[in-house]
Amino acid sequence: MASMDMEFDRTATEASKNERDAKGTDANTNIINVDSANETSDVPNPPKRRKTVKKSMVWDHFDKLKGDPNDPHAQFKYYGVIYTCHSKRNGTRTMKNHLKNCKKYPYQKKRDPTQMTLSFKTKAKDNVGDNRSQLVCESYSLESCREALVEMVIVDEFPFKFVEGKGFKKFVDRLTCASQPRFVVPSRFIVARDVLKLYVNEKKRLKDMFVNRKYRVSLTMDCWTSGQNINYMVLTAHFIDSDWRLHKRILSFILIKNHKGDIIGKTIEKNLKDWGIERVMTLTVDNASSNDTAIAYLLKRFTKGLLFGGEFLHVCCAHILNLIVCDAFKEHNDCIERIRYAVRFIRSSPAHFLKFKKYTEIEKFSCKSYVCLDVPTRWNSIYLMLDATLKFEKAFDRLEDEDAS
């Protein structure tokens, strides 16, 4: 009896297990049938959705104005500047550039003015052609750029209107980028004002050097009359600083009434007092009689700071040396005249110069310079003319043989 009960229980258990397996199989079969029905169903392809274009960040700061849809405009939220914003013709580039450079944009990323950047700078060497550079740290500032522009105008002797040229402005525009603030080129009137400001600052600095450090100064002076019959005088100071470096500074370049000695002496006295110079070592001038009068006037006024009581104040060795050399040239005047005539003949017309250049190429001269004509007011120009002519002696001989005229 017990064995029959155990057999019944085992049969019931197997039956219930088979029933559960059958239900699972039916469920799985139903799922597979549903999926296969979906796959095989004849449903048309759904329409493709248009990919949404990401909205530009400029529209958080610009409002699109109502108007002609073919010519849309947008207005800046923070003040009333308006830009065209056609999606194909203009885009949003102009508005992005405005956000980068606008000072009224409240979310402008302000660059730390003390931030230093690394750059390579050429070392200042006395050797010509030494282009070695070193890595230095420097900060960018609009003020330093403006000062460099003023120094360029002065050193390279550019006119003030140079800064208003289209080419220069385009060049400056290409130098600036998004990481640096844009440098606004000043007008010629602002540059002229900055040049005067730089002159005043440099004069003050040099004057403080003369007054505080008491350098002993050697002066050179020259006077001349221009082609417009205007009298000029230039006064130059030469001194050695505490680092034993020789300096040369033009103290004044002014108009004077005439070349009389008392006028020259008073003008020099006024300039020395203006600069605070008390220790004068020498004054080098030419040997004109009016300069003797000017030196006598200065010896009366400057009794302090002169070496040996001003006995060696008056120096005119340059002019005397010029006269000595000119007298020596008179003994060889015929030779110099013939050389001068040959050089003048070559430089008299482009045809003569090209013919002479052709002969120098035939003789295969390595020297790239050509002959120069002397200047009567420069005694060393005679030496330069003779030295250059001697180098091209064979070219002159060929010119004489092939062009007897």
Query: Which pLDDT value is given to residue 110?
Result: 61
When pLDDT is cut at 50, 70 and 90, the band that residue 196 belongs to is: very high
Question: Range with the lowest mean pLDDT among 116-125, 362-371, 381-390?
Answer: 116-125
User: Greater confidence, 34 or 285?
Assistant: 285
**Res. 127: pLDDT tops 50:** no
131-138 average pLDDT score: 70
Each residue's pLDDT tens digit, 323-335: 787 788 777 788 8
> Which one is predicted more confidently, 214 or 317?
214
What's the mean pLDDT in 206-210?
87
In this prediction, residue 52 carries a pLDDT of: 56
Q: What is the pLDDT, as a whole number, of residue 375? A: 78
Per-residue confidence (pLDDT) for residue 238, from 0 to 100: 92
C-alpha–C-alpha distance, residues 280 and 304, integer Å: 9
Burial 69-91 (b: 16+ CB within 10 A, else e): eeebbbebeeeeeebebeeeebe
* pLDDT band, residue 30 (cuts 50/70/90): very low
Report H helices in 156-187. Answer: 166-175
Residue 38 confidence (pLDDT): 46
Question: For the whole model, what pTM was predicted?
Answer: 0.52
What is the pLDDT confidence band of residue 355, given thresholds at 50, 70 and 90?
confident
Is residue 113's pLDDT more than 70?
A: no
What does the pLDDT read at residue 368?
66
Length of the chain as a residue count? 405
Q: What's the pLDDT score for residue 99?
A: 79
Provide mean pLDDT across the span 175-192: 75
pLDDT of 263 strictly over 60: yes
For residue 96, the surrounding DSSP H or E stretch is helix 93-101
What residues pair up with 310 in beta bridges, in sequence order?
none
CA-closest candidate to residue 187, choices 150, 226, 139: 150
Split at pLDDT 50, 70, 90, the class of 6 is: very low
Is the per-residue pLDDT at 236 higher than 90?
A: yes
- Chain center to CA of 59: 39
Q: What is the arithmetic mean of pLDDT over 192-216?
A: 88
Topology of the domain comprising 214-315: Nucleotidyltransferase; domain 5 (3.30.420)
Query: How is the chain split into domains, by residue range?
Result: 57-101, 141-213, 214-315, 328-402
What pLDDT digit, counting tens, does each position of 309-327 carry?
777 777 667 677 777 877 8
Question: If you average pLDDT over every residue of the chain, what do you get?
Answer: 76
Q: How far apart are the first and last CA of the chain?
A: 158
The one-letter amino acid code at 301 reads: R
pLDDT at 193: 92
Q: Which of 85-89, 274-278, 284-288 has the highest mean pLDDT?
A: 274-278
Instruction: Give pLDDT, residue 53.
Output: 55
277 or 379: whose pLDDT is higher?
277
